[in-house]
Structure 1
């Protein structure tokens, strides 16, 4: 590989809940994609910009590709997330297929088939190797997964513990075309602070609400204003609506005496202040919009795109 800088786009693909967003955050060096232990946490296509001495990777984080058995939200949401994931394969230079160490199922195969159909060079990242109880079983697992499947390279990694990431970056940069970085060294995403604020609030809904309720919630930021602050330099005033589909869900999100909503807002505000490096004043409301997750027109007004 020559010493010329390389710059290109990589689609990060995989079934839900394998750690795609955690891996993108680790490579970017900042939290731009929200995470939780629930499938379908990522609902939007999001660009993470990772700049290294040898070049730049534009990492397209995607919703998990899933079949009918993986569906939790409305049918329209399910279709839109699958289209967003598959649409990420257009115009990229390579794909990174992320799987969980020790597990390969029908949805992993579905993701691989989508990549093979797109004709992209595919790198396999076997994530969560730090959690593998039987390390000796990892080699036969890798042999089975790679049999009859053409991968440019295979990298056992732990996104959470940052294991194996340097070698992964070297491989990915080697697949990129020569060229100057498309973004500045300080840029980490193509999404606005307004978008990121809404996602950080939705992350707390995913983490703090039980059972199926998080899949019936979404966030709309109605106001995002910046003003000078004598203490922190900048203060962001943010008004956000948490949409649910039924009155009973609204009561659960608010909690007894508003306690749960206050806790959700507090944790989201702390995450925003950490990411924006500024003081945040956050106000939240919970409103009902019946059937929003199964209405493509409603989804588009709420900021969802293919």
Structure 2
């Protein structure tokens, strides 16, 4: 390991401006990227009192063989450049959040001619609508089972869909009313897609209009003495209400936000994000991170927000973080 004194910048050579700096090892690999409102003050802190540094910061400084920097005009530019370099170089000593497990999502394959509702893990696919993540796959299946009464969207694989089409008869779900059986033409592709879009709207938190529509239809059926239909509509309403009961109400109905909580010790930090849509918790996800430097909670929050939301396709109106 190198002696930090051998590559410490000469006195007065570091500018007093905002900027981004890189520590490199003896092979030229970037091992740490940081930003600062005042480059001279920040970089001098690595060399002024080595014994006062966090142990992992000491390891980083001793692993490095040189340091360079780029001056920028504003702190916002520094934040953008820091993120760009972390993404480009993947420095070993930077804070990197990792999933504490592979979380399942409820997915609707809107990119298919006949959209399918399914549980998915892993990388997200373009053209697929995702809800969650959920802590357990069974929680998704329980919710889907309730919703299929009202939104009988296809859930079968491509192979099952083709086989039932060739046989000319639907599967069991089609027989019991939990699939609209597009495989045998009971509904048109357009009608089935509308069911899938309604399913997505309900999962996105637009629940009131569906329950009100069913209640209206139930009253009309009862007034027309269509009691069997009215009873089915009543059961559909109860199914939607049971699906909603599984999602805790935490905020007013109009609230769409991500709620972020941190727990940390000297070595690592854990993060939990609760996805609130329509005032209800629709999913959750966790990350853990090793503390590779003497970082504050504010630093952890900043790095987390940059990493998670910089390329996210769905950012809520509000993100609630620790004060």
How high is the TM-score relative to the length of structure 2? Answer: 0.26
Larger strand fraction of residues: 1
Higher gyration radius (CA) = 2
How high is the TM-score relative to the length of structure 1? Answer: 0.27
